[in-house]
């Protein structure tokens, strides 16, 4: 059971709360710069004519109520919430006696622009930014038309902070969308890889056994009247192979049902099981000669399993398609790679088979290990499958 870790403390604060905090920060700053602080000869900015009077404080109180209302609406209705914040910013300027909307009164709007751009659709974010810039321009235009002093330069700086807040939020949204796309792509790739892995295991587990069963059944049918003893032995071999295949399928389905996708399917076979494969194939009427070259040594698990599966599939193709009773398997333990070759002299197809999954699965296994693979008919007859599996750390 996966447990989602808790969010960091700052991430738990909703956007509306951040907007309200920004408003109060601007409001506190507005009061601080209009009183004489310790070490100053006077306040940094002169207060309006009725800033500290009841009517001026009433304007600020109404603006604060609007800001709190915007905080409540921020997540569900972002554009109306922004409208309330813009109204609060304009209303708070009345007792200040300033020629522009100060940055302190626009901090909450900047915070809202950031969250709207980061969490909502691009169109919504653009509308919000244009609305904020329109209010700033409208405030200056109104004062100019009335002949009142205006702080155009200061208002341009405030407009620039609005654009920056929107750009930061927009970049955050794009980064999140890109991350979601990467996760979706990685998930789809993981699903596809796992599907291919399961299909290869199913093919490798079933194909050889079904080929052997088909040959044994055909042989038993032909000799059941004349050689009932040998026919019975063939039927016994069919039963044994069928039970082993069924057991392997049950283990595989058990692993899949319990979700242990990252683990191999119940001790997969390796080159140490090659003698058993050769014996089973011999029972099906195909003699396999195994040649081992070089110094035998333990191999990495993925190399060992892939080499066995490639040999198994190649032998299966010999049993099913070659029309011969013999084939040769060569395993060459080289310093930097393991080379595998399966060669027959049968009367199989004179071209590389198409439409099946055996050769495709072998090639996929080799490609995953950054090796080399080839399969095709020989000029002198028969069919050859070769695979080179690198033993370097980079390949693994």
Distance separating alpha carbons of residues 251 and 257, to the nearest angstrom = 10
Q: Give the 3-state DSSP-derived string for 142-163, with helices as H, strands as E and coil as C.
A: HHHHCCCCCCHHHHHHHHHHHH
What radius of gyration, in Å, describes the C-alpha atoms of the chain? 39
Best CA proximity match to 101, nearest among 65, 152, 146, 56: 152
Q: Can you tell me the mean pLDDT for 160-171?
A: 97
Residues of the chain within CATH 3.30.565.10 domain(s) are 268-396
| Residues 222-247, mean pLDDT to the nearest whole number | 75
- Residue 32 reports pLDDT greater than 60: yes
Express as a percent the part of the chain with pLDDT over 70. Answer: 86
pLDDT band with cut points at 50, 70 and 90 for residue 355: very low
Quick: pLDDT tens for 314-339: 888 888 777 888 899 999 999 899 99
User: Which pLDDT score is estimated for 330?
Assistant: 95
Per-residue tokens: 86: 């813009």
pLDDT single digits (tens) 90-108: 999 999 988 899 999 999 9
Identify the band that residue 160 occupies on the pLDDT scale cut at 50, 70 and 90.
very high
Contact 124, 74 (CB under 8 A): no
275-279: average pLDDT: 87
pLDDT of residue 395: 43
Terminal-residue alpha carbon distance, the chain: 31
Mean of the pLDDT values across residues 71-87?
A: 95
Q: What is the pLDDT of residues 242-271, one digit of tens each?
A: 776 776 677 666 666 665 444 444 567 889
When pLDDT is cut at 50, 70 and 90, the band that residue 394 belongs to is very low
pLDDT-based confidence at residue 208 (cuts at 50, 70, 90): low
Beta bridge partners of 386: 341, 374
HEC states along the chain?
A: CCCCCCCCHHHHCCHHHHHHHHHHHHHHHHHHCCCCCCCCCCCCCCCCCCCCCHHHHHHHHHHHHHHHHHHHHCCCCHHHHHHHHHHHHHHHCHHHCCCCCCHHHHHHHHHHHHHHHHHCCHHHHHHHHHHHHHHHHHHHHHHHHCCCCCCHHHHHHHHHHHHHHHHHHHHHHHHHHHHHHHHHHHHHHHHHHHHHHHHHHHHHHHHHHHHHHHHHHHHHHHHCCCCHHHHHHHHHHHHHHHHHHHHHHHHHHHHHHCCCCCCCCCCCCCHHHHHHHHHHHHHCCCEEEEEEEECCCCCCHHHHHHHHHHHHHHHHHHHHHHCCCEEEEEEEECCCEEEEEEEECCCCCCCCCCCCCHHHHHHHHHHHCCCEEEEEECCCCCEEEEEEEECCCCCC
Distance CA 59, CA 57 (A): 5
Q: Please write the tens of the pLDDT for every residue from 182-194.
A: 988 888 887 777 7
Confidence of residue 204 (pLDDT cuts 50, 70, 90): low
Using a cut of 0.75, tell me whether the model's pTM lies above it: no
Task: Of 128-132, 135-139, 189-193, 333-337, give the lowest mean pLDDT range.
Answer: 189-193
pLDDT, mean over the chain: 85
Report the range of poorest mean pLDDT among 67-76, 138-147, 175-184, 351-360. Answer: 351-360
Distance CA 87, CA 94 (A): 11
Question: Count of CB atoms within 10 A of residue 382's CB?
Answer: 18
pLDDT at 267: 62
CATH 1.20.58.220 fits 268-396, yes or no: no
The larger pLDDT score, comparing residue 181 to residue 216, is at 181
Pick the closest to residue 116 from 87, 73, 177 (CA basis): 73
Check residues 228 and 306 and name the one with the higher pLDDT: 306
Q: What is the pLDDT of residue 261?
A: 47
**Nearest residue to 322 (alpha-carbon basis) of 228, 162, 215, 169:** 215
Q: How does pLDDT run across 285-320, given as a tens digit for each residue?
A: 789 999 999 988 989 988 998 899 899 888 888 887
Q: Tokens 């609305």, residue? A: 131
Return the pLDDT at 328.
93
The pair phi, psi for residue 389, each rounded to 5°, is -110, 110
**Would you call 95 exposed, middle or buried from its count of C-beta atoms within 10 A (0-12, 13-18, 19+)?**
buried
Instruction: Judge whether 98 and 49 are in contact, CB under 8 Å.
Output: no
């Amino acid at each position: 059971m996966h447990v989602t870790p808790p969010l960091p403390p700052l991430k738990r604060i909703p956007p509306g709360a951040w907007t309200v905090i920004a408003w109060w920060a601007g409001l506190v700053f507005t009061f601080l710069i209009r009183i004489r602080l310790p070490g100053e000869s006077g306040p940094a900015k002169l207060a309006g004519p009725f800033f500290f009077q009841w009517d001026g404080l009433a304007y600020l109180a109404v603006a604060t109520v609007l800001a709190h209302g915007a905080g409540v609406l921020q997540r569900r209705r972002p554009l109306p919430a922004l409208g309330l914040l813009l109204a609060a910013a304009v209303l708070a300027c009345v007792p200040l006696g300033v020629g522009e909307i100060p940055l302190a009164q626009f901090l909450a709007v900047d915070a809202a622009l950031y969250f709207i751009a980061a969490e909502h659709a691009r169109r919504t974010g653009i509308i919000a930014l244009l609305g904020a810039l329109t209010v700033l321009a409208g405030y200056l235009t109104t004062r100019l038309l009335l002949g009142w002093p205006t702080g155009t330069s200061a208002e341009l700086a405030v407009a620039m902070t609005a654009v920056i807040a929107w750009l930061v939020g927009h970049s955050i949204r794009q980064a999140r969308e890109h991350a979601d796309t990467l996760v979706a792509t990685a998930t789809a790739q993981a699903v596809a890889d796992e599907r291919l892995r399961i299909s290869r295991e199913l093919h490798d587990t079933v194909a050889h056994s079904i080929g052997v069963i088909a040959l044994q059944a055909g042989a038993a049918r032909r000799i059941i009247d004349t050689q009932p003893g040998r026919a019975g032995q063939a039927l016994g071999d069919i039963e044994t192979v069928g039970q082993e295949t069924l057991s392997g399928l049950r283990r595989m389905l058990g692993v899949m049902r319990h979700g242990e996708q990252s683990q191999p399917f119940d001790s997969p076979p390796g080159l140490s099981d090659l003698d058993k494969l050769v014996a089973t194939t011999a029972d099906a009427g195909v003699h396999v000669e195994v040649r081992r070259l070089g110094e035998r040594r333990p191999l990495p698990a993925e190399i060992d399993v892939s080499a066995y599966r490639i040999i198994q599939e190649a032998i299966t193709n010999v049993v099913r398609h070659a029309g011969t009773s013999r084939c040769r398997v060569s395993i060459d333990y080289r310093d930097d790679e393991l080379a595998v070759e399966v060669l027959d002299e049968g009367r199989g197809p004179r071209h590389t088979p198409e439409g099946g999954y055996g050769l495709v699965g072998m090639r996929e296994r080799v490609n995953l290990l950054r090796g080399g693979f080839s399969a095709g008919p020989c000029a002198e007859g028969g069919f050859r499958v070769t695979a080179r599996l690198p033993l370097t750390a980079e390949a693994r």
